[in-house]
Amino acid sequence: MLHRLWLARAIAAIHSAIVLLFAIGWALPWRESHWAVVCAAVIVQGGWWLFGNRCLLTVWEARLRGKEPEPVPAAPDEDAPNFIRDGMTRLLGRRPPERWLSYATYGVLWGSFTIAAARLGFGS
């Protein structure tokens, strides 16, 4: 069981790195970081479509921690594991509304994508 916990922590660290990529990758001076943001945004969005608006990393981490995710519900399950919601709850000290989280998550993802793509297009 201990190795599963370590693996879950490693997945959480990778998840944090991906969130950090979207938060600052577009602002870095390297074209490679802009390409990473553009490609990762498309991959992440595809994963969300495949897993019912849930991230594959969240699903894996939950399973490794012994929390079997429920089948994809027709409406968002506010009690299902959610990496961003859990992090924001720890940061803010209270649980943010699901609608706010959705707007913030998609805003960061596609805002970062748009800026990185524009920087690639304009060569800056």
- H helices of the chain, in order, are 2-24, 31-50, 56-64, 83-92, 98-122
- Return the ∠ at Cα 13 (arms to 10 and 17), rounded to 5°: 140
Q: What is residue 102's predicted lDDT score, i.e. its pLDDT?
A: 84
Contact 15, 55 (CB under 8 A): yes
Q: What is residue 37's predicted lDDT score, i.e. its pLDDT?
A: 98
Provide the residue-wise pLDDT of the chain in tens; the chain has 124 residues. 678 899 999 999 999 999 999 999 999 999 999 999 999 999 999 998 998 888 889 888 888 988 766 555 545 556 666 777 887 888 888 888 888 888 888 999 999 999 999 999 998 6
Q: What is residue 98's predicted lDDT score, i.e. its pLDDT?
A: 81
Q: What is residue 78's predicted lDDT score, i.e. its pLDDT?
A: 60
Q: What are the domain boundaries of the chain? A: 2-122
